[in-house]
Structure 1
Amino acid sequence: MMGKSHALSGAVGWLGGCAGLVAAGHPVAPLSIVAGAAVASGFALLPDIDHPSSTVSRTLGPITRLISQGVSAGAAAFGKATCDHCERRPGQGGHRLVTHTVPFAILVFLLTALAGRYGGVTASIVIVGFAVWLATHSALRSHTRAEIVDALIPGQVRGKRARKFTAALGSIIAATAIAFAVHHFAEPGASWWWVGIAAGWGTLAHTLGDSITHWGSPLFWPARIRGCTWRTVGTPKWMRFRAGGPVERWLMVPGMALIGLGAAYLLLAPVARGYFG
């Protein structure tokens, strides 16, 4: 799937999970709902760091492209070393290998959960800010982010280079604003290990999303499937669709958006009514 769809799936999955908990009689704090959705949305872009043309690989220009090229080359070498007869697409490199597996999602969960548990609100603010920074690159076009900055600082955005700079600044402003909001509403001494669940879910949501496209994902690596550790799996082939195609754009995205809006309303409307009277 494309970047926007991945980011949306992460947020919608988190909101749906929170709605399920509330329906089962387990209340979820508003901060956990909002911050968790932001983290899941941003981390749903992370697995594509193995693709030099992906959204996440363009967030810091040549810096993230260089990182992405290194991850892609390393993943390709690791894939060949561990299973040299796996079927690969021409020019695929290291895309949809180790970062598109359940073990990678578990690793992300463990690292972020430990950071939230032992780093407290400070580490969690960094995680939330990083996720929002990633998510804004997917949700908002660079032109839109530049326009937001231009509205805040009228007349200061001039030329193509300036627009690129202000587009990045727009993402930083959004990430900083959400991070400050988290800091303001966070309960002193509260444990933030749960950000690992949001980050891990977002990472897994990406891989699950790619598993319903034509090529699937090696979800269950390192388990051997028909003699191959990197065998891609997914839904039945007749249920799969082309990434970025009409099924994704006109069916999957609107459907996920409606589910997400419905879940957000059910979760946050009572809070808003209580807050505003």
Structure 2
Amino acid sequence: MNISAHVPAPPPKWVESFARFGLTAKGVVYCLVGILAFMAAFELGNKSSEDAGKSGVFQFIQQQPFGKVLLAIVALGLFSYSIWRLIGAIKDTENKGTGVKGIGVRLRYAFSGLVYGALAFLAAKMVVGAGGSSGGDDSRQTLARELLQQPFGQWLVGILAVGTAIAGVYQIYLGLSDKYKMKVQQAGLAHQHERTMIRAGKIGYVARGIVWLVIGYLFLKAALTANAKEAGGTDNAFQWLEASSYGSYLLGAVALGLICYGVFMFMRAKYQAINGG
């Protein structure tokens, strides 16, 4: 058996650079999402849940000194992440193959690439002054509205809701099953760094999964009521968490988890061996 045929080849240097730059930008976004959500949970700095959505984070960056330059860098980073994910999906740089499981993983890479490509586009629009107050979260309602206008629209939105919820469950599974530990351990880190990275990933994946589950629930409400306004994105999920029992503490815990996910992205950018995913 030719073992080397099953080992992913090292990527070109530019692909590795795109991956590390993209993971860093993703880490910045998630850390800021978590920080703003935590501030909203405990009413710090006059921040609300609406400020903690992706578009709110981009606005926050833009308001800082040299904000347009910083936001442009983040936009380029997210675009780099998008390209890396799409390369992994199309070129199969991890040798996932064409079986059912392999196609599923590659479709997940492609979906991630498209999502972060859309976020990069939103950030770029804001840099050039074309982005308004509406952003990625409002686009969820636009998507739900467009689907509801199609034949069997409620079913289409319902399918999207179920798919989003499944993605959330998978994120929680990744964290609780420690499935991601293999890639961390392959990096050959010092024990302390490896332990920190694994813990940050575990907490981060669970928090991210909770947010996706809530977004899926909001889409399900939109499907059942045929009302696109029930759908929403990250900021709507935060509002839903905050309005629940012990909402401030629940939102605060999820916010800290998202900060951990951002830290996990930083550590992936620095230490992970880069191939396709």
Task: Classify the TM-score, shorter chain.
Answer: under 0.3
- What TM-score, normalized to structure 1? 0.26
Per residue, is there more helix in 1 or in 2?
2
- What TM-score, normalized to structure 2? 0.26
